[in-house]
Structure 1
Amino acid sequence: MRLLRCGADGVLVELGSQAEVAAARAALLTLPGVVDLVPAARTLLVVLTPGAPAATRVREALDGVDLTAAPAVDARSVVLPVVYDGPDLDLVADAAGISTDEVVRLHSGAAYTVAFTGFAPGFGYLTGLPEPLRQPRLDTPRTRVPEGSVGVAGEFTGVYPRPSPGGWRLLGRLADGADALFDPTRTPAALLAPGDAVRFEVAG
């Protein structure tokens, strides 16, 4: 673990894995004076109210915390209905050496956690993807991925909240009527937040 100063009241905590990021975030949720916690793949940005040196406060809070242990948190649960008819469904099945039905069963049967958000407003990087579905991005990204597309890339799965370029392998799309991943008129605007538990449900 390494702590890097970010301005007068921020600290970037560099960690070795997403599990460590989750554990550190859980340990700092109750730290007095926390303004924001921003997790990423291997880092956690901690922003505190002005006062005592931020790095000292963060280091003291993490001292003695077992970063290898899964954090005990009350996760909010989100269920996303999916139509599994994506253009890369056959590609993912062929690469995994399984049938498309098995791809759907594996993807919809897993329990996911929002590790962090980014790339676009409302885009959550979800961990918990079954091993056979952990595949590389497309060699040539698409110039436009439709809103609601459900994809996989590396160890992550996620849903595109808006039309955008993207290189993830697409398994399907959110069913009609599903909650929007990002709605600026809603509070909060983003449906998913770090720590949320997510499950995909076969629609139709």
Structure 2
Amino acid sequence: MNRPIPLPPHAEAPDLAPCISLLGTTALLFEAPGETCLETQARIWSLAREADTWPEVREAVPGVNNLLVTWREPPRRLEAITGRLAAAWKAAPPLALAGRTVELPVVYGGEGGPHMADVVAHTGLSPDEIAEIHAAPLYPVYALGSHPGYCYLGGMDPRIATPRRKVPVLRIPGGAVSIGGAQTGVSASPGPSGWNTIGSTDMIFFDAARTPPALLQPGDSLRFRIAGVVR
């Protein structure tokens, strides 16, 4: 169970303060204050790069609005590393990562988009309008997680935001393009999902024989291209 750790007295005001929780005896989770946005995420990337240089840290893994920090040995004084993280966050400038832009052809609706009708019902938009709105932004890759190769993306238009499904689907295929709340993503492998699948792609997002195995990395961008709309 996550256990919040009190921040040192010099930390930010409570309404702006990060939350730091202990994960067992080998790691902690740093959660940034405020709403998720690209600037905050760029500061998370900066904090990850800084923490990764500390000798007591084994690994610093950025998530969406958070950072997982594992250490080589349980610290004798936990306050030392939490205080150091809080201070580093206050000083962390947004880190601009010069990533690649990958174009992803998507067939919207039809057999590969079984929940398009649910998004239509929620938004009042047509399948063509949903496809056009979904494909318009350039989506920054905030972080990798959930399963190997899966990208957490920012930048979806709120007009097509749709609540997650009340009953999750037991299996969606790799390449399923889905909407969950205010976010969108592409499944990198088959598995369960509570999101609304609106389309599909044939692109492979994870290949263990490839270097690196994941197609995209934090700082890259993804652009969806409409390859067709099946009604």
Tell me the TM-score normalised to structure 2 length.
Answer: 0.73
Query: Given the alignment of the two structures, is residue 40 of structure 1 paired with residue 57 of structure 2, yes or no?
Result: no
Letter in 1 for 2:105: P
| 1:64 corresponds to | 91
Letter in 1 for 2:108: Y
Give the Cα separation in 2 of the matches to 1:12 and 1:132.
32
| 1:18 corresponds to | 36
Over 3 Å counting, the alpha-carbon distance change for 1:11 and 1:163 in structure 2 is: closer
Whether contact under 8 Å (1:122, 1:190) holds in the other structure is: yes
| Structure 1: gaps of 5 or more residues | none
Whether contact under 8 Å (1:28, 1:61) holds in the other structure is: no
Whether contact under 8 Å (2:179, 2:196) holds in the other structure is: yes
Whether contact under 8 Å (1:8, 1:54) holds in the other structure is: no
Give the Cα separation in 1 of the matches to 2:60 and 2:219.
12
Over 3 Å counting, the alpha-carbon distance change for 1:145 and 1:61 in structure 2 is: same
Query: Given the alignment of the two structures, is residue 89 of structure 1 paired with residue 109 of structure 2, yes or no?
Result: no
User: Quick one: which of 138, 143, 154 aligns to 2:170?
Assistant: 143
Over 3 Å counting, the alpha-carbon distance change for 1:73 and 1:96 in structure 2 is: same
Cα offset for 1:181? 0.9
Give the Cα separation in 1 of the matches to 2:216 and 2:42.
16
Cα offset for 1:111? 1.6
Whether contact under 8 Å (1:122, 1:191) holds in the other structure is: yes
Between stretches 78-87 and 101-110, larger displacement belongs to 78-87
User: Quick one: which of 127, 134, 138 aligns to 2:161?
Assistant: 134
Task: Report Cα offsets for 1:99-120 as digits up to 9, x if no partner.
Answer: 1111000111112122222222
- Supply the RMSD in Å over aligned alpha carbons: 2.8
Letter in 2 for 1:62: W
Give the Cα separation in 2 of the matches to 1:181 and 1:44.
23
Q: Give the fraction of aligned pairs with identical amino acids, expressed as a percent.
A: 34
Give the Cα separation in 2 of the matches to 1:138 and 1:45.
28
Task: Report Cα offsets for 1:142-165 as digits up to 9, x if no partner.
Answer: 221122110010121111111111
Tell me the TM-score normalised to structure 1 length.
Answer: 0.81
Over 3 Å counting, the alpha-carbon distance change for 1:29 and 1:95 in structure 2 is: same
Letter in 2 for 1:197: S
Letter in 2 for 1:15: A
| 1:194 corresponds to | 218
Letter in 2 for 1:184: A
| Structure 2: gaps of 5 or more residues | 1-17
Give the Cα separation in 2 of the matches to 1:56 and 1:172.
45
Cα offset for 1:78? 1.9
1:114-125 matches, within 5 Å, as 114-125=141-152
Cα offset for 1:200? 0.8
Whether contact under 8 Å (1:75, 1:197) holds in the other structure is: yes
Cα offset for 1:29? 2.3
Larger CA Rg, structure 1 vs 2: 2
Query: Given the alignment of the two structures, is residue 170 of structure 1 paired with residue 197 of structure 2, yes or no?
Result: yes
Count of aligned pairs between the two proteins: 198
Whether contact under 8 Å (1:149, 1:170) holds in the other structure is: yes
Give the Cα separation in 2 of the matches to 1:2 and 1:98.
38
Query: Given the alignment of the two structures, is residue 185 of structure 1 paired with residue 209 of structure 2, yes or no?
Result: yes
Give the Cα separation in 2 of the matches to 1:77 and 1:187.
18
